[in-house]
Amino acid sequence: MEKVESYYLYGGWQEVWSHSSETLDCSMKFAIYLPEQAKEKKLPVLYYLSGLTCTEQNVMTKSGIQRYASEQGVIIVMPDTSPRGEQVADSPDYDLGQGAGFYVNATQSPWNKHYQMYHYILNELPHLIENNFPVTGKKSIMGHSMGGHGALVLALKNPEKYVSVSAFSPIVSPSSVAWGEKAFGHYLGENKQDWKKYDAVNLILEGNSVEHILVDQGLADNFYQSQLKTELLENACKQMNVNIDVRYHQNYDHSYYFIASFIEDHVRYHSERLNASLSQ
């Protein structure tokens, strides 16, 4: 690994590292915030998955998450959203290719050579973090939009791996909206049964469960009705008795202004559950 950026804020260090990923077969970057407490002891980790067109930079520069991570004593890991590089398949469209990995393991050419984001987030990146930083091994996951989709799917499919999950404006049922249909068709092929493996609503209806889900959704979000369809998740959870707290907010849109307004709640939400898990 190579450290490529480092900034001191709120008593801790915001770093960006690059490394060669075996899973993605390319060079990757991730951001990590290490609060002051990390000097003295191992801390739990909160993974934040970003949305379409984003990199590891968006949440670290726009959300203010570091302040609350320092207050709560939680390490934040912020990966990129897709494989990168000249050799990596891409598209001129913002919702496909680099910047739009959708946190799936692609099975279709040319995407399958590099687009294995599900396994990267689930296995390779945590292994890297746990072997190079002062972490406890307890981790939670959250995300925004496409990243909210990724966080929900990873937690629902691997409840033993994550203590808690939350999302801002998640794509809850990519199999039934244009963003997901486009990406899944390219990455996974035309068999829609394969799509359901990465669809949070379908996973819940099939019996996958977590202890609790926190979701924040802005009602002025341009994508709310057409691409996000938050109520589908809410209804599926009610049908399957999965505990969910969906908070709808007047006037808030899809931007990082929305995320910055409520990111403290999410960090506290995860910190409480992570700290409780350490005592078990």
- In the residue annotation, 186 being an active-site residue is answered as no
Which has the closest alpha carbon to 105: 153, 58, 49?
Answer: 153
Distance CA 125, CA 221 (A): 31
Where do the DSSP E strands lie in 10-110?
A: 12-21, 26-34, 43-49, 75-79
Q: 220, 190 in Cβ contact below 8 A? A: no
Catalytic residue among 80, 90, 216, 221: 221
- In the residue annotation, 265 being an active-site residue is answered as no
Distance CA 192, CA 155 (A): 21
Catalytic residue among 70, 140, 145, 175: 145
Distance CA 118, CA 225 (A): 26
Amino acid at 191: N
- In the residue annotation, 80 being an active-site residue is answered as no
**Alpha-carbon torsion 99, 30, 169, 192, what sign?**
positive
Q: 104, 79 in Cβ contact below 8 A? A: no
Residues 6+ apart with CB under 8 A from 59: 31, 48, 50, 65, 78, 144, 256, 259
Catalytic residue among 114, 144, 149, 254: 254
Residues in the chain: 280
- The residues assigned a catalytic role are 145, 221, 254
